[in-house]
Amino acid sequence: MVNYKFVHEHQSEIVMDLDFYQFTELIDIKPDPGSHFIHSMSEPYSEEDIEDMVMHNWLDHFKIKFHQLHASGHLNRRWQAIYFTAKNEIREELPKYVDVDIIELERLP
């Protein structure tokens, strides 16, 4: 059974889908500092998003690395730099955990 204990004990082996209203699950999961959170959305980036501030408070509290990806094409320079850093980390780390052909990774935008 997958519960918070399983996720805590196997967190380096799994990818978890977590939406804004599930952040309280982090209390029980106790993520390792330096864990990654990839936030993907299709709405244009907004500097005044209250949910965004709350989300960052949770991530900062647990020392989770934040990566923002936008599908809408609205990406400011800061997020572009974060995107390319995250993409390079994924290219380096993913083959260690998943049987992926490096040629397929090179097709990432």
Mean pLDDT of the chain: 76
Binned at pLDDT 50, 70 and 90, residue 91 comes out as low
Angle at 16 between CA 94 and CA 77, to 5 degrees: 65
The answer on pLDDT for 34 being more than 80 is yes
The listed range with the strongest mean pLDDT (8-17, 26-35, 83-92) is 26-35
* Span 62-79, average pLDDT: 73
Question: Could you tell me which of 53, 59, 11, 13 has the C-alpha nearest to residue 37?
Answer: 59
pLDDT of res. 12: 87
* Span 28-53, average pLDDT: 80
Q: Is the pTM of this model over 0.85?
A: no
Q: Which residues contact 58 (CB under 8 A, 6 or more apart)?
A: 23, 26, 64
Q: What is the DSSP code (8-state) at residue 107? A: T
